[in-house]
Amino acid sequence: IYILGIESSCDDTSAALLCNDKILSNVVADQKIHAEYGGVVPELASRAHQQNIVPVVHQALEQANISKDQLSAIAFTRGPGLMGSLLVGTSFAKSLAYGLDIPLIDVNHMQAHILAHFINEDSHEKPSFPFLAMTISGGHTQIVRVNNYFEMEVLGETIDDAVGEAYDKSGKVLGLGYPAGPEIDRRAQLGNPKAYKFTKPKVDGLNFSFSGLKTGILYFVQRETKTNPDFVNENLNDICASIQYTIIGILMDKLKSAVKQTGIKHIAIGGGVSANSGIRKALKDAERKHGWTTYIPKFEYTTDNAAMIAIVGYLKYLNEDFSDFDVMATARLKI
């Protein structure tokens, strides 16, 4: 079975080819244009998708050495995401599936961040059910109980900003480029995590909140630069390490509560922030300390990619769970 996956929910145009559950190609065109605006500009994102989609799909087919008429089905991201961006991938996927007269499969982007763990890789063990998934990305922060491929229950989520946003907005305060997550992570590894203390939010149950932290960091920087205008430059690594320490603490506290509440000790992470070195290390420590089994995705399946869309397409294909051609892109699609 050959599945072509198409992802266009935010600012990455991606296409991937799967042979059963193995990746043959996974092409990602990211959009540099947003960096100068300090965030994704939806209108520009849709235009760039429109420009990129055919070359990206073409390249994915070529790298996989597969021709269009060998395809079994087309899987695409239906949502959640930016409407204009989703429309490009959705319309393209429909046209191609219609033209080739093969099934169309719609995919939930947040389920895909989780099910990326079922891509067949020699170096990666697939999680066993049930497990807890923590999806930490640019738009979401969720703890999900995964009973089966398509039986998922959100146990907790952010009530305001996503954790990726907390990274990116803190980075903006510190004068770092967009997205700031990777740069904060890099500097955090060179600094002292206990140099500065930021307050953790108090949120009930398994929900998260990150908007207070962002404000806390802003006030902290304003206060310190009053007495020393060079404060940020002189202490950037320590500030980044302290921010990262606080964020990882928030995530791990909630994960521990989720384990306690459900009794499930199998933990998988997914989404852009799962590339973070701090969360990866914290999970490895928890394996030793609390007897958890943790699943950490390969780096290329953390931020947005079409391989994760294609694997969901494959799993749905096996169930013959196909979409009608009047399926619509849905910006606020729920798990």
Q: Where does this chain bind ligand ATP (CB under 6 A)?
A: 9-10, 80-81, 109, 113, 137-140, 164, 167-168, 179-182, 185, 271-273, 275-276, 303-304
Q: Which CB sits closer to Fe ion, 72 or 303?
A: 303
**185 appears as a binding residue in the annotation:** yes
Q: Please report how close the Cβ of residue 308 comes to Fe ion at its closest, in angstroms.
A: 9
Residue 84 binds which of Fe ion, ligand ATP, none (CB < 5-8 A, kind-dependent): none
**181 appears as a binding residue in the annotation:** yes
CB atoms < 10 A from the CB of 334, how many? 9
Binding residues for Fe ion, per CB under 5 A?
Answer: 137, 304
**269 appears as a binding residue in the annotation:** no
Sign of the alpha-carbon torsion through 213, 217, 218, 223:
positive
Show the tokens assigned to 261. 């509440």
Nearest residue to ligand ATP by CB is 272
Q: Which CB sits closer to Fe ion, 14 or 242?
A: 14
**Roughly what angle, to the nearest 10 degrees, separates helices 181-188 and 163-173?**
80
**136 appears as a binding residue in the annotation:** yes
Residue 164 binds which of Fe ion, ligand ATP, none (CB < 5-8 A, kind-dependent): ligand ATP
Strands 2-7 and 73-79: parallel
**139 appears as a binding residue in the annotation:** yes
Q: Which CB sits closer to ligand ATP, 260 or 332?
A: 332
Q: Please report how close the Cβ of residue 169 comes to Fe ion at its closest, in angstroms.
A: 17
Q: Please report how close the Cβ of residue 190 comes to ligand ATP at its closest, in angstroms.
A: 14
Put the strands of the sheet holding 151-157 in their side by side order.
151-157, 141-148, 131-136, 266-270, 293-295
Whole-angstrom distance, CA of residue 7 vs CA of residue 181: 21
**305 appears as a binding residue in the annotation:** no
Residue 89 binds which of Fe ion, ligand ATP, none (CB < 5-8 A, kind-dependent): none
Q: Which CB sits closer to ligand ATP, 21 or 157?
A: 157
Q: Please report how close the Cβ of residue 11 comes to ligand ATP at its closest, in angstroms.
A: 7
Q: Please report how close the Cβ of residue 285 comes to Fe ion at its closest, in angstroms.
A: 26
**138 appears as a binding residue in the annotation:** yes
DSSP 8-state class, residue 292: -
Whole-angstrom distance, CA of residue 139 vs CA of residue 335: 14
Q: Which CB sits closer to ligand ATP, 17 or 180?
A: 180
Show the tokens assigned to 328. 């619509």
Q: How many CA atoms lie within 13 A of 317 on its CB side?
A: 24
Phi, psi of 209 (to 5 degrees): -145, 135
Q: Please report how close the Cβ of residue 113 comes to Fe ion at its closest, in angstroms.
A: 6
Q: Which CB sits closer to Fe ion, 137 or 246?
A: 137
Annotated binding site: 109, 113, 135-139, 168, 181, 185, 276, 304
Return binding residues for Fe cation: 109, 113, 304
Q: List the binding residues for substrate.
A: 135-139, 168, 181, 185, 276
